[in-house]
Amino acid sequence: MADEALSPAIDFSGTGNGEDSAPAVGLISQYVKDLSFENPNAPGIYQNQQPPQIDVQFNIGTLQVADEVHEVSLKVEVRAEIAGTVAFIVDLTYAGLFGFRNVPAEQIQPYLLTEGPRLIFPFMRRVVADTIRDGGFPPLLLEPIDFNQLFMQQSQATQANVTDSGHA
């Protein structure tokens, strides 16, 4: 139900409300693509009362899977250590399929790197928290990410690199 509220389904058959030329984007589905949880030092690690040092690595990927369908994947790796001993490792790739109709090509990639991740992030965040909790540790709630800001920073860095390489 939450998916429908965030992004209504799109009829890609062309038999919709007669506005076949109107741009449309929709979240078709979302899913766990890959999930791994490691607890290599159980049960001994549960005896340690120190808080773990947690390292979170994050990546966004996109893939065109059909003419009007693209996949956005969020990959997160969480590694927790207590006094140099691994407490747990979570490796998750969570993905969503997005459908596009009559959207200019130059607008698709920005959407896939900003709005797509924003829509599926809360669900990925829940999978991470539940997995860690189910592994016997307090759940980790990942901080929200401003995907628009990340995209702008990446665009500016790319533009700066292009400008710098043009002066060489």
Paired with 78 in beta bridges are: 56, 90
Its pTM stands at 0.80
**Given the structure tokens 């997005």, which residue do they identify?**
98
Give the pLDDT confidence score for residue 75 in this predicted structure: 98
Architecture of domain 2-148: Roll (3.10)
pLDDT for res 151: 86
The pLDDT score that the predictor gives to residue 157 is 79
Position 159 scores a pLDDT of 75
Instruction: Identify the pLDDT of residue 160.
Output: 75
pLDDT in the model for residue 65: 96
Q: Which pLDDT score is estimated for 167? A: 57
Residue 110's φ and ψ, nearest 5 degrees, are -60, -40
pLDDT at 3: 43
pLDDT at residue 165, rounded to an integer: 65
48 phi and psi, to 5 degrees? -80, 125
pLDDT at 10: 47
CB 90, CB 142: distance < 8 Å: no
* pLDDT for the residue 24: 92
Angle between helices 147-166 and 105-113 (to 10 degrees): 120
Report, as ranges of residue numbers, the positions in the chain whose pLDDT lies below 70.
1-20, 164-168
Structural domain boundaries in the chain = 2-148
Tokens of 129: 């928290």
* Token pair belonging to 133: 């909790």
